[in-house]
C-alpha cells in the first residue's frame, strides 16, 4: 500500500544539530509533511496569498535586512502569521540573532525556532534533500533485490519460482543482496530506492534449508543497506503457448512503481536454464544498451543489410538474363 512519510521537528533537530532558540520539548513534536522550504520575502511584505503554510521557513541575510526596516507593530503582525499552527518551524541561517519580536511571539506560542551557522543556500539544499528522502512516497513489493554488476535488480515472480535460490547463486558469484521476500521502496526524485525491512535484513529464506544469515555465511561485503532499482526481472513458469522475446526487438516492457516506469524483462523458468547466469547476461546487456550498444538493433540492421544485398544481387541477376 502506497504511503507518504512524516518527519517531526525533533528528528530534524537531531539530524542537523540545530541550536534551539525557542520552544520546549513538546514543540518538537510538530510534523513536517511538505518537502520544501520558504524564504518569506513576500510574506514579510504582507502578501500571504498563495503561500504554502506547511513549509519550513528560512530567514537569511536578505530577510534579516528587510525585517530591520519594519516597525515593531508590523513585525508583530507578520510574525503572528508566520508562526501559525501550520508552519513547522523557522530556521535562521548564518548564525544571526533572532529578531526580538519574533522571539517573544514564538516563546508565547511555544513555537520552535532554530539557528545554524550554515549559509542560506547550503541550508536550503540540505533540508530539501533530507526531506525529499524522508517524505518520499513508499510501497512494498514481494521479491528479491540484489545488486548485480552495480545495477539494482528486482527479481519478481510467483511463489515457488526460485527467486531466493537464484539470489543465493548470484551471491555465491560475488553479487550483493539488498532484500529478500519483501522489498520496501521509496521514490526519490525519479528514482526508486529499495531496502529491506529491519526484521528481514541480511536474511535469505531457502526452501528445504530455512533462513540463512548472508553476512555470516558470505561476509559483510555480501550485503547492501539499499540500492536504486534499475531493472526488473520477472520469473515465470515456462509455457509453450506463450511467445517470449527471442531477438530483443519486441515491444519493451515496464513495471509501474510509484509512478515510475522501470524496465522489465520476463525470464521463463524451465529445467536446465541457469537463472543466475541468465540474469547476469540480462544485466550485462542492459548496461551495454545504456552505453549505446544494442545487440538486438545491431542484429536487426544486419538482417536489413543482408536483405538489401540480396535484393541488389537478384536485381543484377534479372538484368543479366535480359
C-alpha cell at 37: 522550504
Question: How large a percentage of the chain has pLDDT more than 90?
Answer: 49
- Assign 157 to helix, strand or coil: strand
Amino acid 204: pLDDT: 87
pLDDT at residue 306 is higher than 80: no
The torsion angles phi and psi of 81, rounded to 5 degrees, stand at -75, -35
The model's pLDDT over 244-271, given as tens digits with 9 standing for 90+, comes to 555 444 567 889 998 899 999 888 887 7
Q: Please give the distance of CA 139 from its chain centroid, rounded to a whole number.
A: 11
Amino acid 241: pLDDT: 64
Q: Is 181 a catalytic residue?
A: yes
Stretch 98-104: mean pLDDT, rounded? 95
The model's pLDDT over 80-100, given as tens digits with 9 standing for 90+, comes to 999 988 999 999 999 999 999
**Range with the poorest average pLDDT among 181-185, 233-237, 295-299:** 295-299
Out of 30, 115, 151, 163, the active site residue is: 163
Q: Is 246 a catalytic residue?
A: yes
pLDDT at residue 147 is higher than 80: yes
Question: How large a percentage of the chain has pLDDT more than 70?
Answer: 86
| Beta strands at 203-206 and 210-213: parallel, antiparallel or unpaired | antiparallel
Amino acid 1: pLDDT: 46
Q: Where are the beta strands (DSSP E) in the chain?
A: 7-8, 19-22, 31-32, 37-38, 56-59, 90-92, 113-115, 138-142, 144-148, 151-157, 176-179, 182-188, 191-195, 203-206, 210-213, 226-237, 253-257, 260-269
Amino acid 187: pLDDT: 87
Calculate the average pLDDT of the chain.
Answer: 86
Q: Is 163 a catalytic residue?
A: yes
Amino acid 99: pLDDT: 94
Read off the pTM: 0.66
> If pLDDT is split at 50, 70 and 90, which confidence band does 294 have?
low
Amino acid 238: pLDDT: 73
pLDDT at residue 162 is higher than 90: no
pLDDT at residue 33 is higher than 60: yes
The model's pLDDT over 180-198, given as tens digits with 9 standing for 90+, comes to 989 999 888 888 999 998 8
Amino acid 53: pLDDT: 83
pLDDT: which is higher, 291 or 248 = 291
Out of 36, 132, 139, 181, the active site residue is: 181
Q: Is 189 a catalytic residue?
A: no
Out of 142, 172, 189, 302, the active site residue is: 142
Out of 246, 256, 319, 321, the active site residue is: 246
Cβ neighbours of 118 (radius 10 Å): 19
Question: Among 166, 154, 139, 147, which Cα is nearest to 231's?
Answer: 154
Amino acid at each position: 500500500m502506497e504511503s507518504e512519510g512524516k518527519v517531526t521537528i525533533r528528528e530534524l533537530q537531531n539530524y542537523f544539530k540545530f541550536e534551539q532558540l525557542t520552544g520546549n520539548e513538546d514543540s518538537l513534536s510538530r510534523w513536517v509533511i511538505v518537502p520544501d522550504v520558504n524564504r518569506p520575502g513576500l510574506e514579510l511584505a504582507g502578501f500571504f496569498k498563495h503561500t504554502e503554510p506547511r513549509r519550513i521557513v528560512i530567514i537569511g541575510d536578505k530577510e534579516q535586512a528587510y525585517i530591520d526596516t519594519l516597525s515593531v507593530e508590523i513585525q508583530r503582525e507578520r510574525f503572528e502569521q508566520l508562526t501559525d499552527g501550520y508552519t513547522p518551524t523557522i530556521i535562521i541561517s548564518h548564525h544571526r540573532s533572532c529578531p526580538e519580536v519574533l522571539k517573544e511571539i514564538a516563546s508565547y506560542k511555544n513555537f520552535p525556532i532554530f539557528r545554524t551557522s550554515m549559509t542560506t543556500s547550503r541550508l536550503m539544499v540540505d533540508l530539501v534533500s533530507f526531506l525529499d528522502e524522508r517524505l518520499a512516497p513508499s510501497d512494498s513489493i514481494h521479491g528479491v533485490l540484489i545488486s548485480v554488476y552495480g545495477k539494482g535488480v528486482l527479481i519478481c515472480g510467483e511463489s515457488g519460482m526460485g527467486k531466493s535460490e537464484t539470489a543465493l547463486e548470484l551471491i555465491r558469484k560475488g553479487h550483493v543482496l539488498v532484500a529478500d521476500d519483501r522489498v520496501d521502496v521509496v521514490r526519490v526524485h525519479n528514482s526508486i530506492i529499495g531496502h529491506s525491512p529491519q526484521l528481514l535484513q541480511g536474511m535469505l529464506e531457502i526452501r528445504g534449508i530455512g533462513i540463512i544469515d548472508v553476512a555470516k555465511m558470505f561476509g559483510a561485503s555480501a550485503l547492501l543497506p539499499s540500492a536504486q532499482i534499475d531493472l526488473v526481472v520477472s520469473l515465470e513458469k515456462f509455457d509453450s503457448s506463450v511467445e517470449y522475446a527471442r531477438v530483443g526487438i519486441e515491444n519493451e516492457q515496464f513495471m509501474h512503481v510509484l509512478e515510475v516506469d522501470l524496465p522489465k524483462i520476463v525470464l521463463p523458468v524451465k529445467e536446465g536454464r541457469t537463472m543466475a547466469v541468465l540474469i547476469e547476461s540480462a544485466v550485462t546487456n542492459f548496461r551495454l544498451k545504456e552505453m549505446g550498444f544494442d545487440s538486438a538493433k545491431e542484429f536487426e540492421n544486419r538482417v536489413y543489410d543482408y536483405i538489401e544485398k540480396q535484393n541488389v544481387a537478384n536485381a543484377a541477376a534479372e538484368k543479366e538474363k535480359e
